[in-house]
A and B are shown apart, each in its own frame.
Chain A
């Protein structure tokens, strides 16, 4: 049996996310079915591809040269497949090939040949390739210094696009209109590019942007899967663009020309699998340019798979192992005219993708451009473009919708025009607002460079809104409005009626949606008919399921605090429902989510997550129960309304649920009026120091550190908060917290295990490390905590998974949070403990009691392996926020390290993340007085293995007094802020910082230093024990080199 190693993409970062898990999981299943022995490496524990059942052997290890080389030597696979691991895997496989390792061990590279990677990543080779194929590229050059870029610009003129080589999501690139910007982009790009190269291209801003996704087999046969048209023209990253398919503004001749070019390119690159070719097409002439080729599966391929039903990932995997297109059957057995992978999908519907920005992902500078800022995306299907656009807009979730509508309505005309010219995340809403204010299609086209065809569609929407407003109560208008895609809610606003009344009117008039199966109406069947979408005024194809159905509500678009880890729960709940003999039905709108892979549900409703759309699906399917627990806050917020509408909910409805279900401080949840005395009283109750944050639900804004009642008073006076402002107070916690994972049925509680979270120091920064089994608890403490949690959970009116977080305070455990919406550390705990909590919880919802379920004893001590979880930050994307002290930092991904000791597991998380610990260089110490003695010992050990030590004045004095040679650094703020660029060899390569927990200034420094280190990608250590553990690993990796006579003495004591 041939053995193939599949590389995962590691932690999610902006621009490379969960879509790779979706594709990778499907690819592994395809390879397994084809008789291959599969091995997968991925450090991201929130993935389905790292579930034990996903492959023959799963390595949750760093996707790096060091670890993957070792796994290859250990496993001796016949082949390696990098197609499904994004840029990370492509770059790694190139390193492995260049090392000679693959040749030495006769490991074959499948799918994407090495020179295809080089020719598409190295801009110079890329230009040569296209010139040889006679395909047009924009005038361009590759430079390694700003001066060369300036020379190029003198020749071609402004503006120019700067693209760093081998980076993700356009990181560090941009459009330069002047010398200053050019120098900055080029310098930044050179720093970020692993090869130090930057491509400078003549800007073709405003061209239409078209992407073709196509596959090729070893016999040179091809099939085009989808042509995607970016509504936003060139100049806005495709990840931040509104995208539709099929393409709408290409003439047939143009479409054919691009198609032929894409085929020529995939053949020249000899890719056996999937390729994505991006074109810039002049709106005013026949000219076009090839702007980008991705010789691997990416975000757009996953979008194409969802939109067309063509299983891109599965096909790509089979093509990589040498199948030909016609040998890959796709339709269910027994179809009259079987569809194979050679068939090209043609759609009788339209699909719209909208980017979902999160406050944290877009930051203060809300302009969108060549660098991707979206944290997720939504996809909607419709039988007209208008319908799919409107459904996509409400898929963004109505909170955002309101937010944007309110925002653009407040713009004066100049601001609005400026937003049309310089797009921000509110662009779509700004265009609609402009139409309401009487702008013509051609005026908006002029300002936005968006093709008028799309603006005509928006104009149709605006005209319909007007028609609805003018015909209150008219059923015919209502039908027309529903057919165009307007929501009950919007119609209700226009008719000044509550949404539920519109629904009642609609149902009374028989105006209900019917559900169409995607991808069957031309006779082709790219798989069993599973994906349904709603449309009005058409017959539809939905028929009742043969068995009782359970509806699972998904978590929708990925947001910065609600990512893949929530979808993980959805997937496992669906599988458990299916295995329990029910039909598992999912409603979700996120094409990147693994849950929306057709293999994971019996039926998938690709619909917006609004009450209206959920109730419609409930009406159509009549499920025996609806499950919301694993859909994050997106799903949970429907509990009350669904329950009120008489929908059978499996989860306890909100009336019985304490509000602790949101991850908020227990005592201070809910709205706190901005009555200073009231706030002060609440603050006293928590105790100082604490964090205060005026925040909206989804916009965790600036939090402030408050050390005393006086500081609080000053803050409240100076902040000028609106009267209805919600304020959150959160205790400052120092040291470790403990999260207990439990299950509850109607009567019993099961405590499954405890995860320790280290460094959960404040409300503002995601916590830094999780450990399982716990690192700092004695067996006695663990037992005590288990009992405390059991009692706590027993008193809660919840069922299913319950996660309760505690802090150890002197002599007892104090409860901090309760979380009942899955997500968070749940995938980590499930992987580390081996207890399938989601499955067990789902079975409780389906009627099992805890007594009937196979529950392992608390597994803390049985295992000899230590698991460490660490967040990964999208570092470079945060640059513009670096100097903001009170910034909210957040992670976009996560990694897990697994080893026999904490130290080694921790080392792995560093290796797997973006900030591997340097193997030489400067370590900066700036520590609290109480830590100085311990820090000195550690510094000595670093010196002994060749690191240089830097220290800030107080620490420096202490070190020098004890004869440790160091470099004195004057001011820690100045140091922290002037560390750019990241590869500066004079600055620190790692920072050790501890503070005095009762000193406000010291704690503010912590936040500052933490933010700066995150932005700069420098490892930061705030706990000396952890650093000591890491040192053990570093020391064990090398030999001390000591001159004669300088052998270390006994530690000197103060």
Chain B
């Protein structure tokens, strides 16, 4: 079935439809990962987006549970040069095509993704739509389209829930949490409480966590400023780690600014330097917004990591408080594991700063 991906700049890309035969709209972004299409499709940080894969083939090992990052994928479409079924792959619990159909996500294959990614690299994310025709009416519709700004609300859990274990009490503020993060923390025996994005500081401290993690998630951090406010209130009371969107919010909470990135930060492995040691970590990233490096200067933050390619801020830390944020995924499983040491270091720090159980009871004022 011939379908079109049409973009707000007036360009369109023909291809063959697969997945769900539905018409959707969203924000087209490119992803330059290799072989991690399952993680990308199921990453809640990609909510509302139409993902253009530069990977020349996707679907080649099917979809398997190990790589899934959220139960219900919330992307609006998949664009590929080639998709393959994986009837013979022992990993495949589903075929990509079937999986997308089940989750009502359309796909288009046979697309000139090389040209598409050049467009997206040059122009940044663009409004886009899957259509059966590429007429003027379709373009009008896209231009009129207003993209949602409540993505975090849509992906975050509605209720707190627990993932019990015997170690440190870690509270995870779900801005679009990836299973890989929960697995990495569970692997370190963390007793996890996962709460909605809009849980306020008081309620968070009410769980008496040893540390709080603000997860990665979708969209512009400026659309969820109340979360930055929460971070501001928590700082100094509890160690905080922010990842992706969570990291950007730590920046905003301390007076730094964020802006759209110029270079591609979706996919990887991308090399990041830990400034203190000079070590290079190969990291997976997935964000459109960067922390404005100049704006960090007047804040209590210091830059701890930088992307080697564009020298953009990849990690920050608070000068006084045990608060740090990164713009890459330190959770491995199954990404390059270079950056998992960040979680180890965070847990060591938590072990030092946390109160022994039974002491330091927080009194409701």
25 sampled A-B residue pairs with Cβ under 8 A: A223-B282, A248-B60, A251-B89, A252-B38, A252-B39, A253-B67, A254-B91, A283-B90, A336-B262, A342-B308, A346-B54, A383-B56, A383-B82, A384-B57, A384-B81, A453-B86, A456-B85, A456-B88, A483-B110, A521-B32, A521-B113, A521-B121, A523-B32, A523-B121, A538-B112
A residues near B268, Cβ cutoff 8 Å: 344, 346
For chain A, the count of residues having a C-beta within 8 Å of the partner chain is 57
Binds A, one of B186-194, B212-220, B273-281: B273-281
Binds B, one of A255-263, A667-675, A715-723, A943-951: A255-263
B72-112 vs A, CB cutoff 8 Å, 1 = contact: the mask equals: 00000000011011111111000000000000000000101
B10 to chain A, nearest CB (A): 15
A1033, CB-defined interface residue at 8 Å: no
When C-beta atoms are compared, the residue in chain B nearest to A346 turns out to be: B34
B residues near A251, Cβ cutoff 8 Å: 35, 61, 64, 66-67, 89, 91, 334
B65 to chain A, nearest CB (A): 11
A222 to chain B, nearest CB (A): 8
B residues near A343, Cβ cutoff 8 Å: 270-271, 308-309
- Asked whether, in the complex, the Cβ of B88 is within 8 Å of the Cβ of A521, the reply is no
Task: Give the interface of A toward B (CB within 8 A).
Answer: 219-224, 246-256, 259-260, 283-284, 324-326, 336-340, 342-344, 346-350, 383-385, 441-442, 445, 451-453, 456, 483, 516, 521-524, 537-539, 541
B114, CB-defined interface residue at 8 Å: yes
Contacts A253-B334, A336-B262, A383-B81 known; A348 to B117 CB distance under 8 Å? yes
- Asked whether, in the complex, the Cβ of B57 is within 8 Å of the Cβ of A350, the reply is yes
Contacts A259-B336, A284-B90, A349-B56 known; A522 to B61 CB distance under 8 Å? no
- Asked whether, in the complex, the Cβ of A347 is within 8 Å of the Cβ of B56, the reply is yes
- Asked whether, in the complex, the Cβ of B308 is within 8 Å of the Cβ of A250, the reply is no
When C-beta atoms are compared, the residue in chain A nearest to B32 turns out to be: A522
- Asked whether, in the complex, the Cβ of B81 is within 8 Å of the Cβ of A255, the reply is no
| A889→B278 CA distance, assembly (Å) | 56
Contacts A343-B309, A516-B114, A523-B264 known; A350 to B56 CB distance under 8 Å? yes
B118, CB-defined interface residue at 8 Å: yes
B33, CB-defined interface residue at 8 Å: yes
Which 9 pairs show the lowest CB-CB distances between chains A and B? A522-B32, A337-B263, A342-B271, A452-B88, A337-B310, A221-B280, A523-B264, A538-B112, A539-B115
- Asked whether, in the complex, the Cβ of A385 is within 8 Å of the Cβ of B57, the reply is yes
A657 to chain B, nearest CB (A): 41
Partner of A348, one of B38, B56, B269: B56
- Asked whether, in the complex, the Cβ of A219 is within 8 Å of the Cβ of B278, the reply is yes
- Asked whether, in the complex, the Cβ of A249 is within 8 Å of the Cβ of B269, the reply is no
B residues near A516, Cβ cutoff 8 Å: 114
Other CB < 8 Å A-B pairs besides A251-B61, A338-B309, 19 of them?
A220-B279, A221-B280, A223-B280, A251-B91, A252-B39, A253-B66, A253-B67, A343-B270, A343-B309, A346-B54, A346-B268, A348-B114, A349-B114, A384-B82, A445-B88, A516-B114, A521-B32, A524-B309, A538-B115
Partner of B112, one of A259, A336, A537: A537
| A350→B112 CA distance, assembly (Å) | 14
- Asked whether, in the complex, the Cβ of A325 is within 8 Å of the Cβ of B55, the reply is no
B55 to chain A, nearest CB (A): 7
- Asked whether, in the complex, the Cβ of A383 is within 8 Å of the Cβ of B271, the reply is no
- Asked whether, in the complex, the Cβ of A344 is within 8 Å of the Cβ of B114, the reply is no
B residues near A539, Cβ cutoff 8 Å: 112, 114-115
Contacts A246-B35, A251-B91, A253-B67 known; A521 to B117 CB distance under 8 Å? yes
- Asked whether, in the complex, the Cβ of A250 is within 8 Å of the Cβ of B264, the reply is no
B36, CB-defined interface residue at 8 Å: yes
| A1014→B46 CA distance, assembly (Å) | 65
Contacts A348-B117, A453-B84 known; A249 to B89 CB distance under 8 Å? yes
| A1013→B86 CA distance, assembly (Å) | 53
| A680→B108 CA distance, assembly (Å) | 69
A442 to chain B, nearest CB (A): 8
- Asked whether, in the complex, the Cβ of A250 is within 8 Å of the Cβ of B61, the reply is yes
Q: How large is the interface on B (under 10, 10 to 19, 20 to 34, 35 or more residues)?
A: 35 or more
Contacts A251-B66, A256-B336, A348-B81 known; A326 to B271 CB distance under 8 Å? yes
B337, CB-defined interface residue at 8 Å: yes
A residues near B82, Cβ cutoff 8 Å: 383-385
Contacts A337-B309, A344-B282 known; A521 to B54 CB distance under 8 Å? yes
B94 to chain A, nearest CB (A): 13
Interface residue SS majority, chain B? loop
| A249→B87 CA distance, assembly (Å) | 12
Contacts A251-B64, A346-B55, A348-B54 known; A246 to B117 CB distance under 8 Å? no
A residues near B86, Cβ cutoff 8 Å: 453
| A247→B36 CA distance, assembly (Å) | 12
A residues near B33, Cβ cutoff 8 Å: 346
When C-beta atoms are compared, the residue in chain A nearest to B39 turns out to be: A252
A459 to chain B, nearest CB (A): 11
B9 to chain A, nearest CB (A): 14
| A285→B45 CA distance, assembly (Å) | 32
B205, CB-defined interface residue at 8 Å: no
- Asked whether, in the complex, the Cβ of A348 is within 8 Å of the Cβ of B88, the reply is no
Residue of A224, A343, A350, A521 with highest tally of chain B CB at under 10 A: A521
Contacts A248-B60, A521-B54 known; A325 to B280 CB distance under 8 Å? yes
B267, CB-defined interface residue at 8 Å: yes
Residue of A224, A251, A384, A385 with highest tally of chain B CB at under 10 A: A251
Contacts A255-B35, A346-B54, A538-B114 known; A522 to B67 CB distance under 8 Å? no
B335, CB-defined interface residue at 8 Å: yes
B332, CB-defined interface residue at 8 Å: yes
Residue of A256, A324, A338, A339 with highest tally of chain B CB at under 10 A: A256
- Asked whether, in the complex, the Cβ of A346 is within 8 Å of the Cβ of B32, the reply is yes
- Asked whether, in the complex, the Cβ of B121 is within 8 Å of the Cβ of A256, the reply is no
A380 to chain B, nearest CB (A): 14
Partner of B57, one of A222, A248, A284, A342: A248
B residues near A259, Cβ cutoff 8 Å: 336
A208 to chain B, nearest CB (A): 12
Residue of A283, A325, A452, A539 with highest tally of chain B CB at under 10 A: A539
Contacts A249-B89, A337-B262 known; A325 to B271 CB distance under 8 Å? yes
| A385→B271 CA distance, assembly (Å) | 28
B residues near A325, Cβ cutoff 8 Å: 271, 280
- Asked whether, in the complex, the Cβ of A521 is within 8 Å of the Cβ of B335, the reply is no
| A42→B39 CA distance, assembly (Å) | 50
- Asked whether, in the complex, the Cβ of B334 is within 8 Å of the Cβ of A252, the reply is yes
When C-beta atoms are compared, the residue in chain A nearest to B118 turns out to be: A521
| A256→B34 CA distance, assembly (Å) | 11
- Asked whether, in the complex, the Cβ of B57 is within 8 Å of the Cβ of A221, the reply is no
| A338→B67 CA distance, assembly (Å) | 31
Contacts A252-B35, A326-B271 known; A522 to B56 CB distance under 8 Å? no
B residues near A284, Cβ cutoff 8 Å: 90
A525 to chain B, nearest CB (A): 10
A residues near B91, Cβ cutoff 8 Å: 251, 253-254
B39 to chain A, nearest CB (A): 7
B residues near A253, Cβ cutoff 8 Å: 66-67, 91, 334
When C-beta atoms are compared, the residue in chain B nearest to A457 turns out to be: B84
B255-298 vs A, CB cutoff 8 Å, 1 = contact: the mask equals: 00000001110011111010000111010000000000000000
B residues near A250, Cβ cutoff 8 Å: 35, 61
- Asked whether, in the complex, the Cβ of B114 is within 8 Å of the Cβ of A246, the reply is no
A167 to chain B, nearest CB (A): 35
